[in-house]
Amino acid sequence: MSIMFIFYDNFKDNIDYAFTGKLPIEPSFYIYSPTQIDQSMAINNGEIINVVVRVPNLLFKGIEWDNHTIETMRDRIIKTLKNIKGLEDIEDNIEFVDYLTPIDLKEDYNSYAGAAFGLSPTLTQTNYFRPHLKLDTINNLYFVGASVHPGPGVSIVLLSSKLVVQEILKSEK
Ligand SMILES: Cc1cc2nc3c(=O)[nH]c(=O)nc-3n(C[C@H](O)[C@H](O)[C@H](O)COP(=O)(O)OP(=O)(O)OC[C@H]3O[C@@H](n4cnc5c(N)ncnc54)[C@H](O)[C@@H]3O)c2cc1C
């Protein structure tokens, strides 16, 4: 297992909760275990498991990202992980745990409202409808990255930087 998605029965609720400001009770999530392909990332043959859960951003004021919330989410995730074949005893084997909440994303990475994935991919914010690379109203102001055209994901962001370079070169002619 390197990457795995765990979909709970109430997957639709899980998706909707992020837009209604609620935390999932039975969270669906994404698991990534980098040590499956690169053992040098952990000492003594250890294993790293990264779990990503979809939660509301900080525009929703109802959630206090304190220890109680973190522990509650941790317990819900561990409960689900224990149901996966091979991970039944995971709780007894945890050596180190770290968490990244929307507060951390906001404070450490200056991410707007602590949103991990930038601008939502709604219809009017997708592809051409995302903010453009070049601002029409201010000369020589360019944007690059996940929240602008063409969109998110490392390969697309790299493409976006290439497009910006092309725009700049064009404007210099
Ligand atoms: C959990 C997760 C898993 C993902 N998995 C994948 C994947 O498997 N494959 C994939 O292709 N994409 C994945 N993505 C998406 C991908 O990481 C992003 O689309 C991409 O990193 C966006 O690149 P960016 O340069 O726009 O922004 P970022 O990578 O967020 O870089 C922006 C940088 O600017 C810094 N910054 C912010 N404000 C300032 C400031 N005022 N001054 C100076 N620096 C500042 C930030 O700290 C940050 O380092 C994932 C994203 C997340 C959150």
- The Cα 30–Cα 49 span in angstroms is 10
How many Å lie between the centroid of ligand 1 and the Cα of residue 89? Answer: 33
How many Å lie between the centroid of ligand 1 and the Cα of residue 29? Answer: 19
Closest CA to 19 of 115, 112, 105: 115
Q: Which atom of ligand 1 lies closest to the CA of 108?
A: 47
Residue type, 149: H
Q: Which atom of ligand 1 lies closest to the CA of 111?
A: 37
User: Which tokens sit at 95?
Assistant: 């050596």
Residue nearest to ligand 1 atom 34, measured at CA: 109
What are the domain boundaries of the chain? 3-114, 123-172
Q: Does the beta carbon of 156 sit less than 6 angstroms from any atom of ligand 1?
A: no
Cβ atoms within 10 Å of 16's Cβ, excluding its own: 12
User: Which tokens sit at 131?
Assistant: 């903010």
- For the chain, 173 residues long, give each residue's pLDDT as a single digit of tens: 567 777 777 888 888 898 899 999 888 899 999 999 999 999 999 999 999 999 999 999 999 999 999 999 999 999 989 988 889 999 999 999 999 999 999 999 999 999 999 898 889 999 889 999 999 899 999 999 999 999 999 999 999 999 999 999 998 87
Q: Does the beta carbon of 129 sit less than 6 angstroms from any atom of ligand 1?
A: no
Closest CA to 113 of 68, 54, 53, 61: 61
pTM reported for the whole predicted model:
0.88
Residue found under tokens 């725009």: 167
Residue nearest to ligand 1 atom 8, measured at CA: 153
Which distant-in-sequence residues (6+ apart) come within 8 Å of 107 by Cβ?
none
- Paired residues of 52 in beta bridges: 30
